[in-house]
């Protein structure tokens, strides 16, 4: 689903209610040409880049075990809270994004890639 602009540096992604506990929802931020995955774990929302750094498989289609995202393609594991690689073959971590809920809407700070 497409994302739209919000306050400076943050992008409106969608309703907070659509990201339920233990699930990951993908969003596309068109202006930055990037996919962002938002997950809810223990009531908290986390946002990371949605594509595995090993071979660009969508992490939102993989598994979520607590705060660990598991890529469906090669089994790479990432810490959702830090973006750190927990198990390869990926060597590069995920970019994380600050998340706020304003008026029941998810906003994430998404910077353009350099």
In 1-114, beta strands by DSSP E: 4-5, 10-15, 24-29, 34-41, 44-49, 63-65, 68-70, 77-79, 85-87, 96-97, 99-102, 105-109
Percent pLDDT > 90 in the chain is 82
Per-residue pLDDT band for 9 (boundaries 50, 70, 90) equals confident
- Which is nearest to 90 in space by CA: 104, 76, 69? 76
Per-residue pLDDT band for 33 (boundaries 50, 70, 90) equals confident
Q: Write the DSSP symbol of residue 111.
A: P
- CATH 2.102.10.10 given to domain 4-109: yes
The full set of domain ranges for the chain reads: 4-109
From CA 64, how far away is CA 60, in angstroms rounded?
A: 9
Q: What is the mean pLDDT of the chain?
A: 92
- Give residue-wise pLDDT tens across range 75-106: 999 999 999 999 999 999 999 999 999 999 99
Q: What is the pTM of this model?
A: 0.89
């Amino acid at each position: 689903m497409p994302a739209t602009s919000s306050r400076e540096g943050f992008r409106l992604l969608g309703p907070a209610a659509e990201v339920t506990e233990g699930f990951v929802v993908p969003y596309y931020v068109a202006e930055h040409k990037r996919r962002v995955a938002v997950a809810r774990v223990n009531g908290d929302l986390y946002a990371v880049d949605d594509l595995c750094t090993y071979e660009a498989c969508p992490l939102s289609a993989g598994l979520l075990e607590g705060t660990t995202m598991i890529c469906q393609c090669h089994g790479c594991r990432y810490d959702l809270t830090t973006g750190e690689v927990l198990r390869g073959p990926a060597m590069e971590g995920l970019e994380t994004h600050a998340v706020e809920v304003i008026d029941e809407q998810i906003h994430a700070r998404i910077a353009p890639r350099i």
